[in-house]
Amino acid sequence: MSAEPRGDGVTGFPFDAPRDGSWKLTLPCTRAEADALAGDLPTLALLDPPPTLMTSEPDPDAPDAWRLDAYFEAEPDAASIRLIRDLVPSAAGTAPALEHVPEEDWVTLSQEGLAPIHAGRFWVHTPQHGADDAPAGSVRFAIAAGRAFGTGHHETTAGCLAMLDRLRRAGHHYGNIADVGTGTGLLAFAARSLWPSARIVASDIDPVSIEVTVENAAANAVPVGRARTAIELVVAAGLDHPRLKARAPYDLLIANILAGPLVELAPVFARALAPGGTLILAGLLQTQAEAVATAYRRQGLRLAEDARFGDWPTLRLVKRAARPARGRARKGVAVGMGSWSTDGAI
């Protein structure tokens, strides 16, 4: 699945509510506990279906007083409530608040608090709110809160948007771009707006995310498909797809997923990146940034920038250019630049 972390300090991650609504369990938590909820939570696998977790900072003047909201598709039993309480030890002794959220309130709830995000030149708003408030000259995208991650309201996505904007302002140009773990398609849309002549492919391990990307593309007048200026969409884990292999090497690769997969995919991404190419990584905690950067240094990439949007890092790495091979090169053929072979494991 695509990949903004759970525990969104801004809005959280809405899901498709059942026809009779959902149930919300609310507990206080600390900032540290909220950050911890951004990682993988194996204990949630004990619940079927697992709840959707949302964290928020109700009062900016009380930076350590956060709130956890857990949304269930059915009324949770005592065991489920205990499991959620165990995630936030600071709430011991606090009675959890449990309430039913009717279906007719879900859309309103999912859009509440989704103030437009301004990152670089980009203005990201929901279809219902914020379009008219966009600053002059901004690039606007309407992205609905819904079935996929990547609405732009989490700092990881906003950080990637800001990074892309800075690269364009600095004069960088890219002709072959991949967005891995695209979620809602937003980062691929943003890249296309910055480099309209580039070939762009967006992938996600979750077929639902690709469906959502198609819907968002239509809403934002972004063409999808294999046409030269369209965004090609692929369901794949990492770069494990013939189309993704065939289109490599990439001079810009974006991956807003989680720290664990980013480390595992380091050899794959490094191999798929052209010499001198740019890699943008997000979806990791600050405490995970060094481990992720180290995994890519071992693959011949250097860390060019470690930027934060809020408390979440966005890493920009550059693949070192290959040294020219000794000896004579045939006219018109670059020697020593390496190549991408579809026979290699991805």
Residues making up the annotated binding site are: 157, 181, 204, 256
Q: Tell me, what DSSP letter sits at residue 288? A: G
Taking the C-alpha atoms of residue 148 and residue 313, their distance in angstroms, rounded to an integer, is: 21
Element (H, E) at 27: strand 22-29
**Phi, psi at 50, each rounded to 5°:** -70, 155
- Check the CA dihedral 232-278-321-343 and report its sign: negative
129, 111 Cβ separation under 8 angstroms: yes
**Phi, psi at 167, each rounded to 5°:** -65, -40
Secondary structure percentages of the chain, helix, strand, coil, to 5: 30, 25, 45
* Binding site feature residues for S-adenosyl-L-methionine: 157, 181, 204, 256
Q: Tell me, what DSSP letter sits at residue 5? A: P
> Within 10 A of 151 (CB to CB), how many other CB atoms are there?
29
